[in-house]
Amino acid sequence: MQQTPLGSISRPKTRIQEQKRGSSTQLTTPSSVNYHFTRQCNYKCGFCFHTAKTSFVLPIEEAKRGLRLLKDAGMEKVNFSGGEPFLHERGNFLGELVRFCKQELQLPSVSIVSNGSLIRETWFQKYGDYLDILAVSCDSFDENTNKVIGRGQGQKSHLDKLHKVRNWCREYKVAFKINSVINTYNVDEDMTEQISALNPVRWKVFQCLLIEGENAGEDSLREAEKFVISDQQFQDFLDRHQNVKCLVPESNQKMRDSYLILDEYMRFLDCREGRKDPSKSILDVGVKEAITFSGFDEKMFLIRGGKYVWSKADMKLEW
């Protein structure tokens, strides 16, 4: 991975002069932040909307400095994602950030989104106490469908690993969550039985989303157009699973501007125009300045259920 000495990190220029601030002058509090600290991944999901365009990862002390800035600005929950967050330094970089956020920053909620393939039980033994929620991505309960989508590696079973991780979450007292992207290859599937058996605290169901420069357009590393479904197809999928109590649906409209996304340089990404326009890094200009270019819609964040019981200490789960 690219690494540079502290104090000499070169961050790419942004479109910041071309961007428009949000229409509201009200200060945005970064209560829940998604930090994509790496773009590298061992899977090749065809619809991926945060692709391996760089191999950059901040030095860990710089990442911690940025996380402290966010905590001081009001962050209560951080979600680590990628790429695949367990790929860099075999999950130790991720683990140390998880420990830092829970132990030193004392954040109410620390979570991870992963494809699950690289998670080991030894990671739970070392870092499980500091993690509130682990979300594993699973788009189908048919192994062949997962492989067609790109969620797989060689002969390894994505579903077998999903069940292993679920059991480890129970054993090490980490709340378990599932994320699914609904697309042309799984839109007709009925997952009710399998989701009910796994019993996650939340099942996030996303409508496949196109982002220019990531999975659509000339400069993209993916071509996701063939995965896109209509709003009606998405609604039909939701109707089929209406009895799954843990289901949390997210249409394209809800996804675009209801997330505070921080990239590998700790820049907020504005997705309102169907692409990811970066702010300047919070490490250079601070959170207050950078967040005005995030495109974040706090009202939509609340509408989609972004604020929930996100600390495992408050979930009262029966392990």
In what helix (H) or strand (E) does residue 301 lie, and over which residues does it extend? helix 298-303
What is the residue-wise DSSP string for 11-79?
Answer: ----SGGG----S--SPPP-SEEEEE-----S---TT-SS--S--B---HHHHHHHHHHHHHTT--EEE
User: What is the three-class DSSP state of 225?
Assistant: helix
Q: Read out DSSP for 97-146? A: HHHIIIIIS--SEEEEEE-STT--HHHHHHHGGG-SEEEEE---SSHHHH
| Cross-strand pairs, 205 | 180, 249
48 counts as catalytic: yes
Residue 155: Cβ within 10 Å count: 6
208 vs 109: CA distance, rounded Å: 27
101 is catalytic: no
In the residue annotation, 246 being an active-site residue is answered as no
Q: What is the token pair recorded at 257? A: 């501007």
Chain centre distance of CA 196: 23
Sequence-distant (6+) residues with CB within 8 A of 13 are none
Residue 213 carries which side chain, given as an amino acid letter? Answer: G
CA atoms within 13 A on the CB side of 201: 23
Q: Which residues are catalytic?
A: 41, 45, 48
